Structure 1
Amino acid sequence: MNGQDICFNSNGIAVTPERPSLVLVHGSGGSKLDWPQSWRSVAAATAPLGLPSSTAVLPGQGGQSLHSYPVFAIDLPGHGGSYGQSLSDIDGYGAVVIRFIEALGLENVCLVGHSMGVGVVLSAVLQSSVRISSLCLIAGAARMPVTPELLKGLKNQTEDTVAAVARSCWHKSTPEHFVKTTQQRMMSAGQNVLHDDFTVCSKLDLRAKLPALQVPTLILAAQEDRMVKAAEIESMAHATPKAQLQIFHECGHFLHVEIASEIAKELVTFLDAQD
């Protein structure tokens, strides 16, 4: 893809012009593994594991309602299994997503972004909306301020800073396993990737361009999100012409994992309404 190898996985559902294809774009220091496995695979191994309802949904559960749609989860450059370097601007990542869609010949695409991925998919659709029929924006906004202290911490006290970020990504009731997994994945991304990604977020401001969006947009937020404030996401929703906003409670920045089944159903309902 223009000399750039992008790693992705697919749930194997056949692509047809009538049915939207979902392209999932992860957040800062993330990868395709940040999406529930059951969103990315229809294998029997991703079926629910019989955990009590009081237990947070594990990655790999709660996405069966998406199994009628083709799903592609990508690793941005320098992340996960993708080669190359992480980028220093949101438009560069947006262009990569557009080239990925073109390379696969996808025509009816719902771009789904989480956190930094929200900025990426917004940039992508603003660059070229020809193949994009809808958006789903999860726990991210057109502006996502990052403090200078956080950027400095990622450079000088990486491990401690990542530990604090990982804790902030999850609702306070979430089992520690999830926090540790996020911490390990972020550390595996490396200091340079993490600093680049959070710098990209710190420079992001697409608010003035939101009125130009002309595709149906589902915006999902958590009231208790400590990484991207719900008020910032609400402001984006008000400025986006064809947006619908849902705010959830008792979950955090990774709401698509914590309440994976509920989020998947919201997405399916949204996609069905576009037919």
Structure 2
Amino acid sequence: MDLTVAGQHVHAGTGGRAFDPDLPLVVFLHGAGLDHTVWALPARYFAHHDLSVLAVDLPGHGKSQGAPLTSIAALADWVVKLLDEVGASKAALVGHSQGALVALETAARHAERVRALALMGAAPKMPVHPDLLAAAEANDHKAFDLMTSWGFGPAGHLGGARVPGSWLMGGGERLLERVKPGVLSADLAACNAYQEGMEAAAKVTCPTVVIMGSDDKMTPARAGAKLAGAISNAQQVLIPGCGHMMLAEKPDETLDALKTIL
């Protein structure tokens, strides 16, 4: 589906079904350097279970035009402009990693527009290692190597892909290699600069689930639990044997966790 948000072309996947503005809306927000394709399974599932789905390419990512937005706050305000564009008064927001920060900040800043929240691979703060920041700023392939190595848990490093013959870490690198120059650097810098997670969490009023991987090195489960503890009545789901890239590593378990809120 092609949209215009803030004067720029934006692409969004709809889960294989035509967008229906009369159905409850779910917006999926991807992580740093990624795009809407990471949501293929949950987007398709919920689109075929009486929900409208928008798995968006954030500005500058995937098929969306424009420069990447450089702060989590700016991205949160952009999400509301997206809702305005499709005529949605409210939506459930599902975010992974950087997308989780965006979803969290949107729910804090625009509580009346968010009916439910799913935060995956999330933490109150997401400091980025200086080596990764430097490599991304230099458009060095090392940034992709570091993100892939740190992002995947046992299923990626030792084998355990659900699809026979597939290579999780290789697929992860190929996806990152599609990102436009400067976009990953902007994303990581935005994550690194965001310090308002706990304050935002205290403002969330909608039903929320925080989904964590037991072997997540980038946003450890203890950090996800801390974030969940700051959100009123938030559910916590821990996926065993899973790293940060839960959509690829544990797709079925991740979908089951999302079903608890959507």
Whether the TM-score (by the shorter chain) exceeds 0.5 is: yes
Structure 2 residues without counterparts, runs of 5 or longer: 160-165
**2:248 maps to 1:257:** yes
**2:22 maps to 1:27:** no
Structure 1 residues without counterparts, runs of 5 or longer: 42-62
**2:147 maps to 1:165:** yes
**2:197 maps to 1:194:** no
The answer to whether the Cα contact below 8 Å between 1:13 and 1:68 also exists between their aligned partners in 2 is: no
Deviation string 1:89-109 (CA, Å, 9 cap, x unpaired) is 111111111111111112341
For 2:49 and 2:111, locate their aligned partners in 1 and report how far apart those are by CA, in whole Å: 25
Question: CA 1:77/1:69 → structure 2, altered by over 3 Å: closer, same or farther?
Answer: same
The answer to whether the Cα contact below 8 Å between 1:66 and 1:264 also exists between their aligned partners in 2 is: no
Runs of 4+ in 1 over 6 A off after TM superposition: none
**2:20 maps to 1:7:** no
For 1:217 and 1:253, locate their aligned partners in 2 and report how far apart those are by CA, in whole Å: 19
Deviation string 1:153-179 (CA, Å, 9 cap, x unpaired) is 223472123112112222223347221
Deviation string 1:170-199 (CA, Å, 9 cap, x unpaired) is 222334722112212212213411111111
- SS of 1:7's equivalent in the other structure is strand
The equivalent position to 2:209 in structure 1, one of 218, 226, 233, is: 218
For 1:66 and 1:222, locate their aligned partners in 2 and report how far apart those are by CA, in whole Å: 26
Greater alpha carbon shift after TM alignment, 119-128 vs 64-73: 64-73
Q: Which residue of 2 aligns with 1:124?
A: 106
The answer to whether the Cα contact below 8 Å between 1:118 and 1:142 also exists between their aligned partners in 2 is: no
- SS of 1:158's equivalent in the other structure is coil
The answer to whether the Cα contact below 8 Å between 1:171 and 1:225 also exists between their aligned partners in 2 is: yes
1:1-275 map, 5 Å = 1-11=5-15, 12=17, 15=20, 20-35=24-39, 37-41=40-44, 63=45, 67-156=49-138, 158-174=140-156, 175=159, 177-206=167-196, 207-271=198-262
Deviation string 1:115-161 (CA, Å, 9 cap, x unpaired) is 00011111222221223101000012231111222211223472123
The code of the aligned residue for 1:213 comes to V
The answer to whether the Cα contact below 8 Å between 1:88 and 1:199 also exists between their aligned partners in 2 is: yes
The code of the aligned residue for 1:27 comes to G
For 1:14 and 1:190, locate their aligned partners in 2 and report how far apart those are by CA, in whole Å: 28
Q: Which residue of 2 aligns with 1:56?
A: none
Counting matched residue pairs gives 248
For 1:134 and 1:71, locate their aligned partners in 2 and report how far apart those are by CA, in whole Å: 14
The answer to whether the Cα contact below 8 Å between 1:65 and 1:268 also exists between their aligned partners in 2 is: no
For 1:177 and 1:119, locate their aligned partners in 2 and report how far apart those are by CA, in whole Å: 28
The answer to whether the Cα contact below 8 Å between 1:29 and 1:79 also exists between their aligned partners in 2 is: yes
The code of the aligned residue for 2:28 comes to L
For 2:115 and 2:220, locate their aligned partners in 1 and report how far apart those are by CA, in whole Å: 27
Question: CA 1:38/1:156 → structure 2, altered by over 3 Å: closer, same or farther?
Answer: closer
Greater alpha carbon shift after TM alignment, 110-119 vs 244-253: 244-253
- C-alpha displacement at 1:16, in angstroms? 6.3
TM-score by length of 2: 0.87
The answer to whether the Cα contact below 8 Å between 1:26 and 1:113 also exists between their aligned partners in 2 is: yes
- C-alpha displacement at 1:75, in angstroms? 0.5
The code of the aligned residue for 1:38 comes to L
Question: CA 1:166/1:92 → structure 2, altered by over 3 Å: closer, same or farther?
Answer: same
For 2:183 and 2:209, locate their aligned partners in 1 and report how far apart those are by CA, in whole Å: 28
The answer to whether the Cα contact below 8 Å between 1:136 and 1:217 also exists between their aligned partners in 2 is: yes
